[in-house]
């Protein structure tokens, strides 16, 4: 049960909404594919792992975000307007909640949706920071790894970079979606 609680912030990804997959997966995947293609075509895949290069620049940006996300989460949780607790109009985002052996589909309020979103963004930014530190420490070793004269590391590095940028762009696009909800939808 403890591991389930630790991974609960990623429950945001299980929210069901007709357009949410575009924000969560399509845009980030397209952006990450473009980025990894550009890095590989520029011949700088190994250089991405160097100090002062792409991953270290992302790390310097992302490492300050968890504090801001936690502050936004606290503001959402304590926001005084009661209309934030109304169910979001159609198409209403829904989430499956399992409680004491019963499965229920729950329509989300703006408060619950935003709380789930910013909990996810906090957790994902922490994961990106940890992954960035790992890649800065071991990325070049992964890139040059070969097995029986086959350059496994180049392909493995490409997959790792694709996953890394997918998470980064997923966080970035979801942040803009959260800002849209906070700035415009909350005032409707």
Could you read off the pLDDT of 116-160 as tens digits, one per residue? Answer: 999 999 999 999 999 999 999 888 888 777 565 667 777 888 899
3-state SS of 5-36?
Answer: HHCHHHHHHHCECCCHHHHHHHHHHHHHHHHH
Identify whether 9 is part of a domain: no
pTM listed for this prediction = 0.89
The total number of structural domains that make up the chain = 1
Identify whether 4 is part of a domain: no
Identify whether 105 is part of a domain: yes
Identify whether 6 is part of a domain: no
Q: In which residue are the tokens 């992954």 written?
A: 131
pLDDT at 17 over 70: yes
**Average pLDDT taken over every residue of the chain:** 87
Range of the domain at 94: 19-187
Identify whether 129 is part of a domain: yes
Confidence of residue 67 (pLDDT cuts 50, 70, 90): very high
């Amino acid at each position: 049960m403890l591991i389930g609680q630790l991974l609960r912030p990623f429950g945001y990804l299980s929210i069901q909404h007709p357009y949410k997959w575009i924000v969560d997966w399509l845009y980030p995947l397209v952006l990450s594919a473009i980025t990894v293609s550009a890095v590989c075509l520029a011949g700088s895949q190994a250089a991405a792992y160097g100090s002062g290069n792409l991953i270290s620049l992302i790390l310097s940006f992302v490492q300050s975000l968890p504090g801001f996300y936690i502050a936004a989460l606290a503001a959402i949780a304590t926001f005084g307007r009661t209309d934030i607790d109304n169910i979001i109009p159609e198409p209403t985002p829904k989430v499956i909640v399992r409680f004491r052996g019963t499965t229920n589909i729950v329509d989300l309020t703006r408060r619950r949706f935003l709380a789930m979103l910013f909990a996810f963004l906090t957790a994902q930014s922490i994961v990106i920071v940890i992954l960035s530190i790992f890649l800065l420490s071991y990325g070049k070793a992964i890139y040059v790894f070969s097995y029986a004269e086959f350059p496994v590391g180049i392909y493995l590095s490409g997959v790792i970079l694709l996953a890394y940028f997918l998470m980064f762009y997923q966080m970035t696009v979801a942040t803009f979606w959260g800002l849209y909800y906070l700035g415009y939808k909350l005032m409707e």
